[in-house]
């Protein structure tokens, strides 16, 4: 009963933070206190509970390191013109009868390089939404196409914090996890291309505004060299270079380009790594300004507190009754369907992708191990359920924040084809592997 009360207080605190516009870190901190009190009531010492929280928090260190580097990367790619190049190229080649397909492809390309759905929505998403409004296109379909493309990279990009967290939870290397994701991507990707291509042909956009293209050309040197940081980030992991080192090398290349190619002062580039990049053109201020270490602080706190709470819940065995019921469910429906159900329920209750990932991994990890499944299979299930399905919950920030950045509503979620295709295709193709033995 006390555990239910703790979860109730935690959920109330989380929803209050959302309603008041506060960081979810405050709600997570409240949850950590509540779970600690439950542990004390059940006879555990405060010292033991602190140790459990510390052990849980240690699992987040690899993710925190990636988040720090991503903060640097998001600013340096802005300063170097890398993001501007992708956006400009996508818009330049965009044909009115292929608008939604181009929106999906542009968002996918940026997410592969960027690794952040929020970053994609705040750059290409904002531009594509503006084009949709000016050209008479559906904002709902545009938002769905961008959201689909954005979450393609959340699973595959070496710069994705979600991928790093999933690998850490499953106890596997991020490189191995993402190779598994690559193997499960072709079918849902092909279906998504057909879906958005078909809608594009049936409902072509009227026109493409050239204002933003001109602003990008005036503000940046868009020669092919600015693509190098993205190429480095995408290619190095295939040579078994770790995600952290790949990001670090990409940051170095972007910093050199920002100084030598774009003519930014070295001190300005260095400061942008901390406080974020500020673009000079007024037309691009709301689109390309941002990034930096400070932009990642909230996400770092969320991951750290989530893992600390997970450590207490796991170490104090507070969730054992729930895990037993889930294992019975998994024996009837299979591990994959149960994982998907837990991930949606976690995202619906906790409104956050990172927390949903941690909770789902913790709730289902033991069932996978007892059934003789390895960590890669667990990471596959998490990558194709918890990462993408968090965005289909209308009130979860995984989907609501990117859509809000674009000015789109929850009506875009049904058009986020890839978010539904990825888990369904994975289940249809590999469901026998997820049967409990």
H helix or E strand, kind and range, residue 229: helix 228-235
Q: Which of 222-231, 239-248, 361-370 has the highest mean pLDDT?
A: 222-231
All residues at 6 or more sequence positions from 437 whose CB lies less than 8 Å from its CB, including other chains: 371, 372
Q: How far apart are CA 77 and CA 75, in angstroms?
A: 6
Q: Copy the structure tokens of residue 163.
A: 């991928």
Q: How far apart are CA 367 and CA 361, in angstroms?
A: 10
Number of H helices, E strands in the chain: 25, 0
* Phi-psi sector, 265: left (phi>0), alpha (psi -120 to 50), beta: beta
All residues at 6 or more sequence positions from 161 whose CB lies less than 8 Å from its CB, including other chains: 63, 66, 67, 70, 115, 116, 299, 303, 354
In tens, the pLDDT along 382-409 reads 999 999 998 898 777 788 778 876 777 7
Q: What is the pLDDT of residue 405?
A: 66
In tens, the pLDDT along 314-373 reads 777 777 777 778 878 878 888 899 999 999 988 877 667 877 888 888 888 888 888 888
- Whole-angstrom CA distances from 77 to 69, 228, 272 are 12, 10, 11
Global pTM reads 0.73
Q: What is the pLDDT of residue 252?
A: 94
Burial of 43 by CB count in 10 Å (0-12 exposed, 13-18 middle, 19+ buried)? exposed
Q: Quick one: average pLDDT of 72-83?
A: 86
Q: How confident is the model at residue 135 (pLDDT cuts 50, 70, 90)?
A: low
Q: Which of 95-99, 111-115, 127-131, 405-409 has the highest mean pLDDT?
A: 95-99
Q: What angle do CA 110, 430, 156 make, to 5 degrees?
A: 15
């Amino acid at each position: 009963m006390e555990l239910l009360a703790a979860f109730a207080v935690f959920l109330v605190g989380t929803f209050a933070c959302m309603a008041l516009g506060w960081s979810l870190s405050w709600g997570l901190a409240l949850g950590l206190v509540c779970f600690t009190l439950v542990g004390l009531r059940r006879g555990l010492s405060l010292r033991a509970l602190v140790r459990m929280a510390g052990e849980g928090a240690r699992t987040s260190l690899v993710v925190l390191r990636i988040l720090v580097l991503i903060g640097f990367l998001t600013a340096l790619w802005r300063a170097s013109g890398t993001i501007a190049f992708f956006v400009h190229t996508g818009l330049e080649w965009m044909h009115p009868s292929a608008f939604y397909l181009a929106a999906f492809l542009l968002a996918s390309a940026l997410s592969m390089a960027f690794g952040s759905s929020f970053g994609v929505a705040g750059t290409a998403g904002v531009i594509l939404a503006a084009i949709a409004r000016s050209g008479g296109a559906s904002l709902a379909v545009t938002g769905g196409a961008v959201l689909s493309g954005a979450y393609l990279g959340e699973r595959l990009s070496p710069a994705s914090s979600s991928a790093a967290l999933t690998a850490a939870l499953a106890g596997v290397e991020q490189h191995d996890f993402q190779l598994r994701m690559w193997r499960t991507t072709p079918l849902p990707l092909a279906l998504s291309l057909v879906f958005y291509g078909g809608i594009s042909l049936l409902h072509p956009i009227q026109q493409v505004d050239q204002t933003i293209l001109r602003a990008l050309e005036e503000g940046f040197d868009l020669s092919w060299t600015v693509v190098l940081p993205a190429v480095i980030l995408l290619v190095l992991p295939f040579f078994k270079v770790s995600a952290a080192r790949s990001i670090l090398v990409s940051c170095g290349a972007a910093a050199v380009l920002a100084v030598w190619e774009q003519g930014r002062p070295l001190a300005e580039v260095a400061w942008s790594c901390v406080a974020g990049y500020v673009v000079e053109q007024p037309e691009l201020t709301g689109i390309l300004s941002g990034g930096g270490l400070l932009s990642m602080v909230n996400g770092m706190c969320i991951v750290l507190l989530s893992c600390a709470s997970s450590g207490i819940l796991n170490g104090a065995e507070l969730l054992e009754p729930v895990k037993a019921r889930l294992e019975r469910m998994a024996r009837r429906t299979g591990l994959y369907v149960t994982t998907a159900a837990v991930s949606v329920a976690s995202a619906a209750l906790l409104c956050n992708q990172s927390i949903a990932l941690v909770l789902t991994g913790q709730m289902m990890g033991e069932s996978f191990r007892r059934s003789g499944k390895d960590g890669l299979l667990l990471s596959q299930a998490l990558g194709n359920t918890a990462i993408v399905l968090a965005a289909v919950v209308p009130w979860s920030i995984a989907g609501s924040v990117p859509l809000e950045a674009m000015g789109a509503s929850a009506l875009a979620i049904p058009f986020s084809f890839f978010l539904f295709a990825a888990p369904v295709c994975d289940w249809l193709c590999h469901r026998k592997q997820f049967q409990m033995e």
